[in-house]
Amino acid sequence: MSLAIQAEKIEKSVGSGSSRIQILNATSVSIDSGETVAILGRSGAGKTTLLSLLAGLDQPSAGRILLDGHALNGLDEEQRAKVRAGRVGFVFQSFQLLSGFTALENVRLSAELAGLSDARERAISALKDVELGHRLEHLPRQLSGGEKQRIALARAFVARPAILFADEPTGNLDAATGAHIVELMFALNAQHGTTLVLVTHDEALAARCQRQLRLRDGQLVNA
């Protein structure tokens, strides 16, 4: 089985001099293709930081990261964006949709960035998969939080990414809506065989993943 993510001895520190904070301390992790992994940790432990490094949104101070077989070291932001396009999907706590784009346009954007030719058809079918086939032309501000997050899910899956990163996807939703989103996410994940890296505070949600890792003192440990 191939590795979706391989991180070796990555470090991350911010600031300099006396205000320097070491967030990640030479930690390593390997995640198999198709594996589902939850990352736990108390607030401020560095979960979001780790996620952004693994997804290639930021660069580690030291260490090596391979994303779907591509070494991220030494790549500039522009080249990393190219690696991300179509290969990585995101679901965020605060949805993050383009406010000027309709539901369909938001999803289609991701498909187009992945270079898919039938972007529109795929976007429509992805929105149908999250039960929003009837809200294609609606703008984000016309939709509820749960609906917005379902669009985000459709956007994340539309390009069939190899890896999906989710940072507290239910953090902004009430329990029932959150549960619905989680069901959808795991269903889509199972359907597409996507690798899932999920950051959460929620032990029950973490338990649904195959592996649980805890971030403590800048190190990942098995929970």
Ligand X SMILES: Nc1ncnc2c1ncn2[C@@H]1O[C@H](COP(=O)(O)OP(=O)(O)OP(=O)(O)O)[C@@H](O)[C@H]1O
Give the C-alpha separation, 132 to 36, whole Å: 26
221 interacts with ligand X by CB under 6 A? no
The CA distance from 190 to 175, in Å, is: 22
Shortest separation between residue 132's beta carbon and another protein, angstroms? 19
Distance CA 110, CA 115 (A): 9
> Contacting ligand X (CB under 6 A), which of 41, 63, 86, 89?
41
Cα separation values, 14 from 17, 19, 40, 98, Å: 10, 8, 21, 29
Stretch that binds ligand X, among 47-55, 97-105, 148-156, 203-211 (CB under 6 A): 47-55
Choose from another protein, Mg ion, ligand X, none: what does 141 bind? Cβ within 5-8 Å by kind.
another protein
As a whole number of angstroms, the distance between CA 166 and CA 90 comes to: 6
- By CB under 8 A, residue 58 contacts another protein: yes
Report how far residue 107's alpha carbon sits from residue 116's, in angstroms, rounded to the nearest whole number: 12
- Least spacing, CB of residue 93 vs ligand X, in Å: 8
Nearer to ligand X, 27 or 106 (CB): 27
Buried b (16+ CB within 10 A) or exposed e, 24-52: beebebebbbbbbbbbbbeeebbbbbbbb
Asked whether the beta carbons of 46 and 99 are under 8 A apart, the reply is no
Identify what 41 binds: ligand X, Mg ion, another protein, none; CB under 5 to 8 Å per kind. ligand X
Positions touching Mg ion (CB under 5 A) are: 48
Binding residues for ligand X (CB under 6 A): 14-15, 21, 23, 41, 43-49
Interaction site with another protein (CB under 8 A): 48, 51-52, 57-58, 77-78, 81-88, 90, 92-94, 96, 98-101, 105, 108-110, 112-114, 141, 155, 167
